[in-house]
Structure 1
């Protein structure tokens, strides 16, 4: 499945950049009908050699066939991540693609920051934070860069456009898990 999902994301990026590709989508959908079921995915583009983030876009909710979600998010990560300029054909040789298939986010009830700290599982939980019309998410892989609970949540609050100490306002928290497929 890894080769199929990475190949699909890579082909979508090639198409978006008007580059030749030879991905057999019809054949893949016949062989893997589960890709026709609604699914939510994030596509992350990293730049080699040091895996520097180059784009990451995804869906939190499964609302379209998984293969379409991967295609759309791969193209958006390559061309429309507001943090980066659009990917260029010259950069293609230096990128590494990661596809994360998400479970459905589940609300996490907690009393206070200490209770939240006891319920969050670093390296396993992806987190959605919502407060007062603002929201942000971090995939579980972000724990690798921010393994400390306080640093993780401070950064997530700021990503949402909120102050770094936004947990004191008791935002809504949802958690999800991913199955991660990474290009070799």
Structure 2
């Protein structure tokens, strides 16, 4: 299981994401990692994503407000979080740029990504069995098209691995069964995820396996 950071380092990253957005919305400045940044966050390089959601209550999934990041390592971890957080707040093409008055109504989530792994080309029917919902995220690539879904997405919607692949293809603006094409690349990765439980509140590490179990149990009860 990919877990490079402690909960203390995760809390630091989530707070750093919020601080970066707040300063950018106030002054237009991109902050630098502060002096008390844990050394590993300045040394390590991982892909990172920041997700911002409108807070709907502790027991409800938030409404997406922005999500942008870097699938592969571009900056050190702290620098990547700063840049991905600002981009999620003001550059996500699906939403209008955030206003500073929204900060008390949104939560921040930071995902640290493991290196991408290409699934065996030429054997696409094996992909659903290779992808573990609750562990893996996916990237679908075909020609100029590319789509990424974080590991928390299929858990939140209680998808199976085949649905996850279909949705990944559609995220790339491709037909849902494009993953069966031999010229489509499917890559997987893992992520360590830290999030605020409420705006400016406690930061926790998400346990996707436990969340998936709860989703399945809820669906069984409804059935």
> Are residue 47 (structure 1) and residue 44 (structure 2) matched?
no
Aligned to 1:105: 116
Q: CA deviation at 1:93?
A: 1.1
8 Å contact 2:107–2:196 — kept in the other structure?
yes
- CA–CA distance in 2 between the matches of 1:33 and 1:46? 29
Among candidates 171, 191, 213, match of residue 178 of structure 1 = 191
1:126 aligns with 2:137: yes
> Does the CA contact (< 8 Å) of 2:179 and 2:186 recur in 1?
no
Aligned mate of 1:34, from 37, 40, 46? 40
In structure 2, what is the equivalent of residue 84 of structure 1?
95
8 Å CA contact retained: 1:138, 1:156: yes
Structure 2 SS opposite 1:44: strand
Q: Aligned partners of 2:50, 2:39: CA distance in 1, in Å? A: 20
User: In 2, are the aligned partners of 1:100 and 1:179 still within 8 Å (CA)?
Assistant: yes
Query: Please, which runs of 5 or more residues in structure 2 have no aligned partner?
Result: 1-8, 198-223
For the aligned residues, what is the CA RMSD?
A: 1.8
Please give the alpha-carbon distance, in whole angstroms, between the structure 2 residues aligned to 1:168 and 1:25: 43
Q: Is the 8 A contact 2:53 2:106 kept in 1?
A: yes
Separation (CA, whole Å) in 2 of partners of 1:167 and 1:7: 37
Task: Using the TM superposition, name which of 98-107 and 57-66 deviates more.
Answer: 57-66
CA separation of 1:146 and 1:132: change in aligned 2, threshold 3 A: farther
For residues 157 and 115 of structure 1, do their structure 2 counterparts lie closer, same or farther at Cα, with a shift above 3 Å needed? same
